[in-house]
Amino acid sequence: MNSLARERLNQHYCLNKRDCLELVYNAGIPLMIGVVSLWIAINQQKLDKSNHAQDIQLSNAERTQDRVIARLQRDEDRETARLQREEDKTMTRLQREEDQRTARLQREEDREAARLQRLEDKETVRLQRELDLKITIDKRIQDYELAELQRNMSEQQRAQELEIAHQNRINDLLLEDGRQKENVLLEYQDDLATLLLEYGSLFKDPKSKWWFILQMKTAAALRQLDPQRRTVLVNTLFDAGILDLERDRSQSLLYRTNLSGVEFGY
Ligand SMILES: *[C@@H]1O[C@H](CO)[C@@H](O)[C@H](O)[C@H]1NC(C)=O
Ligand SMILES: *[C@@H]1O[C@H](CO)[C@@H](O)[C@H](O)[C@H]1NC(C)=O
């Protein structure tokens, strides 16, 4: 370039000085500017290149550093994740153990509750059974007492009926007895009247068969009669004047007769 300029300068050297100066002045400055610009551009280029290399180097270094950091970061992350996982695992295990323990306790509690419930149920059933039994027994006792009462009542009724029947029978017997005695008395009085009427003085002879018959009949009647009718009989004999007759003891009309209960003097 310098040579080119010098050549131009030599070409122009033939011009006058002023022209030359003017030329130099006119062409030199731009030239210089151009040279300077070129230099600057070259330098700039160099600088750019250098910068570029430096940038690349820097970026390489940065990338390397980033990679290292990233690796370290990744390692750290991995470690953190591992620790996290282990922690999680431990937590899970503890949680499971806790759950298992809780479940076991719950189961034991449930079992205990069920056992208590069963005991309570059994007790309830037992009480119910006792109550039922007591009710049944009470009912049976009540039934038994009622039956016994009815039996007693029917027994009492039967006893009463028996008593009444017995009483009736006794009354009948007494009536019958009374009737019989009455008949005996009436028959005796009839016989006595017949003897008195038909055999008047004859039968009063102690040795006559009529006297003997009267003696026999009197003894038989007195034996059969009751005190009241005996009294009537004896009074009849008095009234008929038969007891006034003088007789030996053995021939007396009342000899060896039953005079129990007779009231004399009527
Ligand atoms: C039934 O009678 C018997 C005696 O005859 C007596 O001991 C019993 O208490 C009576 N029962 C009732 C329910 O009256
Ligand atoms: C006499 O009659 C009475 C009843 O009136 C009787 O109790 C008594 O046993 C009789 N006596 C004799 C010796 O039969």
* 1: Cβ contacts below 8 Å, ≥ 6 apart: 35
Could you give the dihedral angle defined by the CA atoms of residues 127, 132, 138 and 140, in that order, rounded to the nearest 10 degrees?
-150
Taking only the tens of pLDDT, the chain with its 266 residues reads 465 556 555 555 555 777 777 777 787 777 888 888 888 888 888 888 888 888 888 888 888 888 898 889 889 889 999 999 999 999 999 999 999 999 999 999 999 999 999 999 999 999 999 999 999 999 999 999 999 999 989 999 999 999 999 999 999 999 999 999 999 999 999 999 998 898 877 777 888 888 888 889 999 999 999 999 999 999 999 888 888 777 777 888 888 888 889 988 75
The CB of 227 under 6 Å from ligand 2? The reply is: yes
**For residue 142, how far is its CA from the centre of ligand 1 (angstroms)?**
14
CA dist 222 and 234 (Å) reads 9
User: Taking the domains of the chain in order of start, what are their residue ranges?
Assistant: 200-251
**For residue 160, how far is its CA from the centre of ligand 1 (angstroms)?**
16
* 60: Cβ contacts below 8 Å, ≥ 6 apart: none
- Give Cα 260 to chain centroid, integer Å: 83
**For residue 135, how far is its CA from the centre of ligand 2 (angstroms)?**
66
Q: Which atom of ligand 2 is nearest to the CA of 225?
A: 5
Helices 227-239 + 29-199 axis angle, to 10: 20
CA dist 82 and 182 (Å) reads 144
Amino acid, res. 16: N
CA dist 172 and 190 (Å) reads 26
To test the pocket of ligand 1, the residue of 143, 148, 149, 158 to mutate (highest count of ligand atoms within 8 Å of its CB) is 148
Ligand 1 — pocket residues by CB below 6 A? 145, 148-149, 152
CA dist 110 and 118 (Å) reads 12
- Report the predicted TM-score, pTM, of the whole model to 2 decimal places: 0.48
Residue 208, burial from CB neighbour count under 10 angstroms (0-12, 13-18, 19+): middle
| Residue 222 and residue 230 in contact, taking contact as beta carbons nearer than 8 Å | yes
Q: What's the pLDDT score for residue 9?
A: 55
CA dist 160 and 181 (Å) reads 30
Q: What's the pLDDT score for residue 135?
A: 96
* 253: Cβ contacts below 8 Å, ≥ 6 apart: 214, 215, 218, 237, 242, 243, 247
CA dist 138 and 146 (Å) reads 12
Q: What's the pLDDT score for residue 139?
A: 95
Q: What's the pLDDT score for residue 14?
A: 55
- Residue of the CA atom closest to atom 12 of ligand 2: 258
Q: What's the pLDDT score for residue 10?
A: 58
**For residue 240, how far is its CA from the centre of ligand 2 (angstroms)?**
25
Instruction: Express each pLDDT in 122-180 by its tens digit.
Output: 999 999 999 999 999 999 999 999 999 999 899 999 999 999 999 999 999 999 999 99
- At 217, list the tokens: 């009949």
